[in-house]
Amino acid sequence: MKIIANFSRILVGLEFIFSGFVKVVDPYGTGLKLEEYFEVFAGDIPAMASFFEFFASHSLVLSLLFCALELILGVALVFSFRMKMTAWMVLGLMGFFTFLTFYSAYFNKVTDCGCFGDFLKFKPWHSFLKDVISMVFIMIIFLYRNKYKKSELGTPMVLISTILTFGIGIYGIRYLPLVDFLPYASGKSIPKQMEQPKIKPELSYVFLDKSTGKEIDSKEYLPDTIKYKYVSSEVLNESEIKPKITDYALADTAGNDFTQQSFEGNKLLITIKYTEGLEGIDFGKIKSLVNKVSKRKVEPMILHSLARQDIENIISKNNLNYGYYTCDEKVLKTMARNNPCIILLKNGTVVDKWSYNNLPDADKITELLNQK
């Protein structure tokens, strides 16, 4: 039993560390997922709508706390830190996650639970199954919690992991994620990811055998309608046959498409997702940078998801005399987490991107373009 208990402790600890890390590097992304859950709960439980709406409005803070707690608990498990308390907390946290994944799967409300952030996508039922399996090992840890030996490394490792975890999370909120798992990460080509992969779909069919009344699975379509009745079909490799990027599109105020133009030459994209928080932004810094790089054959483009009046007010107030184009808000949130951000493109490939809080200088942009 001791071997099984220690194996369970290490296994779950490593799972929590990995899962917590891939989420805490991008608290904004996990916050969006939590916000989605709270909005679903608010709609499904009207009596508690205001309660869930309050949490939805604080989803970013909750995201940081949840992700940090998960990683820290993982470290606590690996180094046997206060196992009585840790076991209770791990059980409670995984119980909460299991409830969310079951709710997503059973009611088909949130199609991606976000268990491993944007690093790894699971279908709802797969996520629930993963959590159920984890709960088996966690129950072993819980039942054995009073018998684990205390480790001298427990306290310092938990302290160090707490400082590092919150540091990584706060950095991701103020600037950009240390590790970017999204399709618009540095080095990735947007137009190439919009192309249809040359992979054939793999289908799985379900037919009813009329003679036995039983359903059978088949990888081929059975044309014999006398013996078989078609029930359903499923694409097994759906994620592989779809382009990584399907919704990137730019348009001017007249509705003209400028998507392709954004892939031509050197572009400095200025993304503005919403007006909240822009009051304290000094667009003069961005304007100064744009004026310098424009002389070096880098064209600025403002990408926004605002109402026309709002974006025109911002442009007029800050004298941003550049082309501005509408883009889906979800796309902009995927491209860059902060607001505003700038993204440097070279022939459609993301060279680098920066938060408003750590803008580069013109020489840095020139250096990066010369390297690519």
pTM of whole model > 0.75? yes
Identify residue 130 by its one-letter amino acid code: K
Contact 258, 325 (CB under 8 A): yes
CB atoms within 10 A of CB 221: 11
What confidence tens digit (pLDDT) does each residue in 109-143 have?
777 666 776 767 777 788 889 999 999 999 999 99
Contact 29, 335 (CB under 8 A): no
Average pLDDT over the chain reads: 91
CA distances from 188 to 50, 183, 191, 245 (A): 41, 7, 9, 11
Q: What is the DSSP string of 158-216?
A: HHHHHHHHHHHHHHHHHS--SS--STTSTT-BHHHHHSPPS-PPPEEEEEEETTTTEEE
The reported pLDDT for the residue numbered 105 is 82
pLDDT less than 50: residues of the chain:
none
For 120-127, the CB contacts below 8 A with 24+ separation are 120/22, 121/239, 127/101
Identify residue 32 by its one-letter amino acid code: L
Token pair in block for residue 16: 């929590």
The reported pLDDT for the residue numbered 41 is 87
Torsion (CA) 23, 27, 33, 39 in degrees, nearest 10:
150
The reported pLDDT for the residue numbered 117 is 65
How far the first Cα of the chain sits from its last, in Å, is 56
The reported pLDDT for the residue numbered 44 is 84
Identify residue 258 by its one-letter amino acid code: F
Residue 235 pairs with which residues in a beta bridge? 203
Distance, CA of 114 to CA of 30 (rounded, Å): 7
Question: What domains sit in the chain, N to C, each tagged with a CATH number?
Answer: 2-174 (no CATH), 203-241 (no CATH), 260-371 (3.40.30.10)
| CB within 8 Å of 133: residues ≥ 6 apart | none
The reported pLDDT for the residue numbered 372 is 61
Distance, CA of 73 to CA of 89 (rounded, Å): 8
> What is the DSSP secondary structure assignment for residue 248, as one 8-state letter?
-
CA distances from 138 to 9, 73, 134 (A): 8, 12, 6
